[in-house]
Structure 1
Amino acid sequence: MEEVDKILIHSLRLSGTDIPDEVQSIREFTTELIIESVVRCLRVISPSVGAGLSHILPPGMSARFRIGMSLAQACQDLGYQGEVGYQTFLYSSEPEIRRLLLFLVEKLPRDASEDADQPVGKSTTLHRAIAAAVKEQLAVPWVPPTCRTPRLQLLQSSCLLKRFQTQPLVLPRESDPFLGKVSQERKEFFDKFLPPVSAQLTRPTSLVPSLLELNTAELSAAQEWESEWKSQGLGSRMTPEEYRQWKHQRLHRRLLDQLRQVAPCAGPAPLGTTSRDLIQFLGTFGAGRDHTGALAKGSRFTHTQHLAYKQEAEPPLQVQTLPVSRTSEQELREQQATELEALEGELDRVMGQIAEIEGQMSTLGLTLTQVEGEVRQRQLEVAEQEQALRVKGQTVELLPDAENNMAKLQVVVESSAQRIIQLAAQWEKHRVPLIQEFRDLKALCDSKELESSRRLSEIRELHNRIRLAAEDAKHKDDLYKQLLVELESLPKDVSRSAYTQRILEIVSNIRKQKEEITKILSDTKELQKEINALTGKLDRTFAVTDELVFKDAKRDEAVRKAYKYLAALHENCSQLIQTIEDTGTILREIRDLEEQIESETSKKTLTNLERILSDYRALKQENATLLSHTQET
């Protein structure tokens, strides 16, 4: 127990308990030291509980009882299963205090300032460093700007704060996710003409935000691609490069369809600049090659711009202006306001006409669509009627020679029927092997489909295993780094080898004791077997001897006396064996009683009784004092 007490005392000192150097075991703990140790441990384990408890034992007996009950309740709330009460702290015994302190030390977190259940890793270390820096800055009082030192200027001034502004960056890449390998021209551009990252920015302060945003975008894109590939790409049974190309082509087709729908062909109206640019843009995608007209519907900006170009083509209005020397500034302003109102009215009128024309164009477009539909329907009806007329004409031509024509038609029908039968027989000959081949191919395709599904599930399972293994490796790596940081933060004066040597010695002593106990148990079992064997042999020998002597005792008097002596000897031996067994039982009871006496002596029962009596007298005196004060008031 001495080694256990030393380790326990060292842990209590690390928790903040002021234990004197001369105290080397739990037996030497006083009541004040026990109260302080328990309160210090509670403050580290649960600050909300330990903050309301005092580690100094008060002089009054009633206050001592209250603090003892509070500590007992706090220990029970933490999950202590043993019996605990105020007597555990005020009238303590060595085994109970050792069990309680071991429980509290096991509940202590690894770091007294942090929760032990926090996740480990780089983020935790960064958070702790940020928290320490914030605490340090909060501990510094605020100082007016004129009284700040250079360090306070760095901590409390806002002159160094910069806005989080990002700018696009271009980084050299070996491959493109959609186009594959980078072309030689792009590589040459990256090698010779691409400026460094710091030279691509107009503001030096946006370097870090731009890099952070670029890194975040790449990480999010990689995560999205991985999730999409696992959910949809694996099911497509294509390689990642083929899947990227297919996705790029599908996006290209969708964009082209959308542009074709938004910009259909209209009449031969004159093109504006925006419409002309859009038609050229559509031409690059293969759309609008045969369309030379403008868009059917333009935006208000397009019409306004077209009107502006149209107005520029017309001759400008002749505005009569007076010389500056003869016209005052006020008259000039009024004339400009009048002209502005006239121009605004003209603009509103033109815009109304444009809106009216747009409505008419939409109505005419709908009417044209309806008429085109009716024309297509009429054309279909005309074609059907022409076909029916052609059939009827041929029938009318055959009517003059109806019998011969009927005979010819019958011959043609019979020959067609015979030919159909022959073709059916030939088709049946070809169909049977084709059907069999089809069934074989279908079975092979089904088996390949099952095999591909099985392999796909295996690939997904393998991906999950790889992800779990990577997460496990990352967690272990973070745990290893965290343990290294904690190892470096531990005090260097503690000799780990000494503790290790003590633990090894304790383990070796326990192993030796276990071997000795095993040896004693085996000797006891052997001795018990030997005793049982001798007892059985003795009973059998006595039974045989008793039978032989009893037969001869009927005829001989000397043999009869020998039989009596034999019975008396057997009875005396049985009594002697029983006496020896009773003696052993008594000796075991004596040893048990001695152990109980030692345990009761270690509990300091007499000392505790004397302390209880003295506390009882002090409590009676306090009650009498309080009663006298009450009567006086």
Structure 2
Amino acid sequence: MEEVDKILIHALRQSGTGVAEDIQSVKQFTSELIVEAVVRCVRVINPALGGGLSPSLPPGMSARFRVGMGLAQACQDLGYKGEIGYQTFLYSNEPEIRALLMFLVEKLPRESAEASDQPAGKSVVLQRAIAAKIKAQLALPWLPHNCRLPLLCKTQSAGPSRSLRTQPLSLPYSNKSTGRASSKASREYQRDVLLPVTAQPPHRGALVASLLEQHTAELSAAQEWDSEWNSQGLLSRLTPEEYRSRKAARLQKRIQEQLSSAPGTPSPGSGGAGSGGAGSDLAQLLLSFQGAGPGDLLPKGTHFTHTQKFTFTQDPGLLVEQMAAVASSMPLGGQSEGELRACQQAELGELEERLQQVALGSERLSDRMKQMNLGVAQVTHELKERERANQEKEDSLQVKRQTVELLPDAHNNLAKLQTLVEASAKRLVGLAAQWEKHRDPLIQEHRRLKELCTNQDVESSRQLSEIKDLHEKIRETAEKAKKKESVYKQLISELENLPKDVSRSAYTLRILEIVGNIKKQKEEITKILSDTKELQKEINNLTGKLDRTFAVTDELVFKDAKKDESVRKSYKYLAALHENCSQLIQTIEDTGTILREIRDLEEQIETESGNKTVANLERILADYKAVREENSALGSKVREG
């Protein structure tokens, strides 16, 4: 059992159970360690079933009984057929615990079993324990601090919650991801000017959220590219670089078309090229960036620009009159500051009125320009229609002119026309015959090429599906290679930490010795079984021989006993001897049966002594007293309430 216990302890450590180094046997397991080991194994086998189980025993006895019943029910749900209950965990029995742990270790997934065969260091065990602890904490619901139970107060932090704020980060490797080589200026900027990632967010608390958002964006972009390439890129039969360049060219062409088709805000009645694109999102975006059109209000600007535009848009004669009016309205040097400010306000109001009039005039001019452009477009369209009608009339007139020229010699012309028609008909018949001669091989070639194209499409579809399968296999192989690479690095580090004085040959010799001992035990068992069979066979032969001999002797002596008195006494002695021998044999068999029962009872006594029955009874009495105390305390609280 020592080797079995070592294998079980090793597997439990791999599953995340905190088994101490000094524990070498299942006999040394405490109730707390048994509960933790069973919960860890159940969570690995069935996370949904073990998610609600606690790996630690609560202090209260009633809660402990509930935990034991829950673990027993979970083990029965997994398919355990042995006897199990809360007493299995609270009052441990070495054979039952060993059988239960062997069942759970055999139920572990194959990956976990393979991982348990690999030696793992303390770092792996620590990582698994951290992951299990995080999963357990995530499974617990969040509650306010005042509503938490003592267990939740230990597992959930009492600090205030804060909102996460993200900040766009500038990372040097972003150019590598796009496939463009970074220039010298960008490299100098990244080396000398760009701040570290930890210093870019304005607040220290936004660093983790910003990194997570950056990583999520890059991961989603990579996944979108993979899905697009697998769905559309492979069908295009292009390389990834050609597919990206063609996609960029299409996008650039679309932007150029939108820019060329949206030079300004089109009118509702205009039929230009820009009217169709104005309804799209890109056209609306371009129009929003283009700014106000001629019919909108004037854009914002400085006082100098407004004055400049106002000055140079006026007529020179009107400008002279305005300058004279402004000069005549200039205040004298002896006026007060209030009068000067009032004059300035009046002048400002007058200028604003003039500016509004100019703006209204410009709006009217823009409306008139739109109407004139619309009229020009309509006139141009009408002109094209009339030119096309004139051309049709000229063609019909030319035909009529030629017909009139042929009217004086109508008979000869009709004969010539009939001759031409017959010749044309014969020529058409000959051409049709020639076309039929050429048409048959062309149809056959068309059918052959069509069938060949269909076969090629089927073959290309099959190859495309194979390529997709290969991509999937490559992805799975890459993931497996990464996992094996991490396991290889871990094994290398553990190999370096292992003592160098222990060689593999020692373990090999130990394994060979164990195998040899098992073979010897099997040979001895086989020998004992064969000896027992031979002995039983010999006993059966002797018993049969004895019965036959007694029957023959009894018959012979009984015949002589009728005639001779001394032979009659011999017959009585023979019968008594046979009866005594039968009793002696029965006594020997009963003695053997009693000896076997004694050995069985001794083994049961050893088993019961190993089960710590007395200690378990003492613990049961102590737990019973604790339950009574808890019940009395609860009863007193109920009475007080």
Which bracket does the TM-score occupy, shorter chain normalised?
0.5 to 0.7
Kindly provide the CA deviation profile for residues 345-379 of structure 1, in whole angstroms up to 9, marking residues without a partner as x: 22222222333333344344444444444443343
Of 185, 188, 191 in structure 2, the residue corresponding to residue 195 of structure 1 is 188
**Is 1:424 matched up with 2:416?**
no
Aligned residue identity for 1:342:
E
Alignment of 1:603-614 (within 5 A): 603-604=608-609, 608=614
CA distance in 1, matches of 2:245, 2:513: 69
CA distance in 1, matches of 2:33, 2:300: 87
CA distance in 1, matches of 2:530, 2:39: 53
CA distance in 2, matches of 1:54, 1:613: 15
Q: Secondary structure at the match of 1:235?
A: coil
Kindly provide the CA deviation profile for residues 411-456 of structure 1, in whole angstroms up to 9, marking residues without a partner as x: 0001111111222233333333333333343344333333333333
**Is 1:114 matched up with 2:110?**
no
CA distance in 2, matches of 1:193, 1:84: 70
Alignment of 1:444-459 (within 5 A): 444-459=452-467
Residue 145 of structure 2 is matched in structure 1 by: none
Of 395, 404, 408 in structure 2, the residue corresponding to residue 396 of structure 1 is 404
Of 519, 522, 547 in structure 2, the residue corresponding to residue 517 of structure 1 is 522
Mapped contact 1:3–1:502 kept (Cα < 8 A): no
**Is 1:414 matched up with 2:422?**
yes
Of 422, 429, 447 in structure 2, the residue corresponding to residue 439 of structure 1 is 447
Mapped contact 2:292–2:299 kept (Cα < 8 A): no
RMSD: 6.4
CA distance in 2, matches of 1:467, 1:412: 76
Kindly provide the CA deviation profile for residues 307-336 of structure 1, in whole angstroms up to 9, marking residues without a partner as x: 876534246642236578523332332222
424 and 194 in structure 1: CA distance in 2 versus 1, 3 angstrom threshold:
same
Mapped contact 2:34–2:89 kept (Cα < 8 A): no
Residue segments in structure 1 that go unaligned for 5+ positions in a row: 56-63, 120-137, 143-161, 267-294, 540-575
Residue 96 of structure 2 is matched in structure 1 by: 96
Mapped contact 1:5–1:24 kept (Cα < 8 A): yes
CA distance in 2, matches of 1:405, 1:377: 37
**Is 1:79 matched up with 2:78?**
no
Mapped contact 2:6–2:24 kept (Cα < 8 A): yes
Residue 274 of structure 1 is matched in structure 2 by: none
Alignment of 1:469-618 (within 5 A): 469-478=477-486, 505=510, 508-509=513-514, 512-514=517-519, 516-517=521-522, 520-521=525-526, 524=529, 591=596, 594-604=599-609, 608=614
Residue 259 of structure 2 is matched in structure 1 by: 259
Kindly provide the CA deviation profile for residues 459-498 of structure 1, in whole angstroms up to 9, marking residues without a partner as x: 222222212212222233345567788x6999x9x99979
Mapped contact 1:233–1:240 kept (Cα < 8 A): yes
Residue 130 of structure 1 is matched in structure 2 by: none
Q: Secondary structure at the match of 1:238?
A: coil
**Is 1:331 matched up with 2:339?**
yes
**Is 1:311 matched up with 2:316?**
no
CA distance in 1, matches of 2:32, 2:222: 56
Structure 1 residue 457: Cα displacement: 2.5
Residue 562 of structure 1 is matched in structure 2 by: none
Mapped contact 1:40–1:50 kept (Cα < 8 A): yes
Higher relative contact order (CA 8 A, sep 6+): 1
Mapped contact 1:15–1:41 kept (Cα < 8 A): yes
394 and 609 in structure 1: CA distance in 2 versus 1, 3 angstrom threshold:
closer
Residue 234 of structure 2 is matched in structure 1 by: 234
Aligned residue identity for 1:386:
E
Alignment of 1:50-61 (within 5 A): 53-54=58-59
Residue 243 of structure 2 is matched in structure 1 by: 243
CA distance in 1, matches of 2:510, 2:602: 30
Mapped contact 1:17–1:37 kept (Cα < 8 A): yes
State which drifts further: 43-52 or 248-257.
43-52
Aligned residue identity for 2:608:
K
472 and 300 in structure 1: CA distance in 2 versus 1, 3 angstrom threshold:
farther
Mapped contact 1:198–1:204 kept (Cα < 8 A): no
State which drifts further: 451-460 or 66-75.
66-75
Aligned residue identity for 1:400:
P
State which drifts further: 75-84 or 165-174.
165-174
Residue 555 of structure 2 is matched in structure 1 by: none
CA distance in 1, matches of 2:55, 2:244: 61
Structure 1 residue 39: Cα displacement: 6.4
497 and 583 in structure 1: CA distance in 2 versus 1, 3 angstrom threshold:
farther
462 and 298 in structure 1: CA distance in 2 versus 1, 3 angstrom threshold:
farther
CA distance in 1, matches of 2:469, 2:91: 63
Aligned residue identity for 1:114:
I
CA distance in 1, matches of 2:98, 2:199: 60
Identity fraction in percent: 35
TM-score, length-normalised on structure 1?
0.57
Aligned residue identity for 1:391:
V
Kindly provide the CA deviation profile for residues 128-178 of structure 1, in whole angstroms up to 9, marking residues without a partner as x: xxxxxxxxxx99999xxxxxxxxxxxxxxxxxxx9956569799989976x
168 and 594 in structure 1: CA distance in 2 versus 1, 3 angstrom threshold:
closer
| Residues paired across the two proteins, number | 496
606 and 481 in structure 1: CA distance in 2 versus 1, 3 angstrom threshold:
closer
TM-score, length-normalised on structure 2?
0.57
424 and 362 in structure 1: CA distance in 2 versus 1, 3 angstrom threshold:
same
CA distance in 1, matches of 2:418, 2:307: 79
Alignment of 1:352-391 (within 5 A): 352-391=360-399
Mapped contact 2:230–2:468 kept (Cα < 8 A): yes
Alignment of 1:291-310 (within 5 A): 298=294, 300=296, 310=309
407 and 423 in structure 1: CA distance in 2 versus 1, 3 angstrom threshold:
same
Q: Secondary structure at the match of 2:58?
A: coil
Structure 1 residue 410: Cα displacement: 0.3
Mapped contact 1:167–1:206 kept (Cα < 8 A): no
Structure 1 residue 408: Cα displacement: 0.6
CA distance in 2, matches of 1:606, 1:49: 26
225 and 75 in structure 1: CA distance in 2 versus 1, 3 angstrom threshold:
closer
442 and 68 in structure 1: CA distance in 2 versus 1, 3 angstrom threshold:
closer
Residue 148 of structure 2 is matched in structure 1 by: none
